[in-house]
A and B are shown apart, each in its own frame.
Chain A
Amino acid sequence: MSSFLLQKKSKRGGKKVEERVLEEKFQIVDNYLVVKVPEELDHHQAAYVRQYADKYLLDESIEHIVFDFEHTKFMDSSGIGMIVGRYKKVSSFGGKILIANAGERIRKILFLSGLSDMIEWID
């Protein structure tokens, strides 16, 4: 279980959370889809994340998406496009995009693209 979500939940009054593991790198925790972002989020990897994230959005009752950047060292504008695309999908139903464990480099790129208004940070 992703520790930052566990903390978030326990603050809300420790109700037992439902947790499911899907395709490697994807996890559903309550109504959150947690995506472990690959080490290098380029055009190639962004297509992979997009495809599975959309599959789970369609099949499961997901409201919010958490992108966990703990292991990510590289991101380019393809990653930005992928996040914006997911934002459009979840936000039309009141959902949020959360960014966890983003390093300095990832933050810089997110800020540079003006994404910082669309997302919430978890540290």
Chain B
Amino acid sequence: MKKEMKLEFDALPENEGFARVTVAAFLTSLNPTLEEVEDVKTAVSEAVTNCIIHGYGFGYEPVMDQDKEPEGEEKPVPKVYITCAIENDTVSIEIKDKGIGIENIKQAMEPLFTTKPELERSGMGFAFMEAFMDKLFVESNPGKGTTVRMEKKCGHSFRKADEE
């Protein structure tokens, strides 16, 4: 039986933790190992962070001035969209933004490549997603947004079947 979950939230750095924990909680019905949960959490964190800093270009407000009220009119905060599905022993996660998109996906996926060295991005985001998940697909329309789709087989039942 297929199970689904949808999540839509403000593209703000403080929501990254909430997003990965929610996906991890959804995963529990697969009875995953601790390592699998951590793998998924890391991959989700990478993808969501990409939406926020690259898709929507939220650099960073200096942490020390966090308490200051923002001046001027408040702009609506764009959203990050996550859709998760569990089918048999596989979880698929789709993470989408409606931001600037990626011109050259191949280049973006190269380890250590980053367009934001001034923010100390390591350029390891896609490499981590690839390393921690079984499958990774990236689709992007410049000016319209980016969708990252990932899949991973999880859970004890899958390993047991493998051993037999």
Binding site for B on A (CB under 8 A): 40, 42-44, 46-48, 50-51, 74-78, 80-82, 84-85, 105, 109, 112-113
A43 contacts which of B38, B41, B42, B49 (Cβ < 8 Å)? Answer: B49
Query: What are 10 of the A-B contact pairs (CB < 8 Å)?
Result: A44-B14, A44-B17, A46-B120, A74-B20, A74-B45, A76-B45, A77-B46, A77-B124, A77-B128, A113-B124
Pairwise interchain contact A47-B122, C-beta atoms closer than 8 A: no
CA distance A27 to B61 in the complex (A): 24
Could you list which residues of chain B lie within 8 angstroms of chain A, going by C-beta atoms? Answer: 13-14, 16-17, 20, 35, 38, 41-42, 45-46, 49, 52-53, 60, 62-64, 119-125, 127-128, 131
Tell me how far the C-beta of A57 lies from the nearest C-beta in chain B, rounded to whole angstroms. Answer: 14
Specify the main secondary structure of chain A where it touches its partner. Answer: helix
- Do A51 and B42 touch across chains, with their CB atoms under 8 A apart? no
* Contacts between the two chains (Cβ within 8 Å), count: 69
Per the bound structure, the CA–CA distance linking A75 and B39 in Å amounts to 11
In the docked arrangement, what's the CA distance between A77 and B114, Å? Answer: 12
List of B residues within 8 angstroms of A43 by Cβ? 13, 16, 45, 49, 52-53
Q: Could you tell me if B125 and A47 are in contact, using CB atoms closer than 8 angstroms?
A: no
B127 to chain A, nearest CB (A): 8
Residue of B nearest to A40 (CB): B17
Given contact pairs A51-B63, A84-B120, A78 touches B49 in the complex (Cβ within 8 A): yes
Told that A47-B13, A47-B60, A77-B128 touch, could you supply 6 new A-B pairs with CB distance under 8 A? A47-B63, A48-B63, A77-B123, A81-B121, A112-B124, A112-B128
CB distance from B44 to the nearest CB of A (A): 9
Q: Which 4 A-B pairs have the closest CB atoms?
A: A81-B122, A77-B124, A81-B120, A85-B120
Report how far A24 CA is from B38 CA in the complex, Å.
27
How far apart sit A39 and B33, CA to CA, in the bound complex (Å)? 20
Q: What residues on A are CB-neighbors of B45 within 8 Å?
A: 42-43, 74, 76
Within the complex, the shortest CB–CB distance from B69 to chain A, in Å, comes to 20
Taking the nearest CB of chain A, how far is it from the CB of B138, in angstroms? 16
Enumerate chain A residues within 8 angstroms of B128, measured Cβ to Cβ.
76-77, 109, 112
Are A105 and B13 in contact, with the CB atoms below 8 A?
no
Say yes or no: A77-B60 contact (C-beta < 8 A), given A42-B17, A43-B49.
Answer: no
Question: Do the beta carbons of A50 and B120 come within 8 Å of each other?
Answer: yes
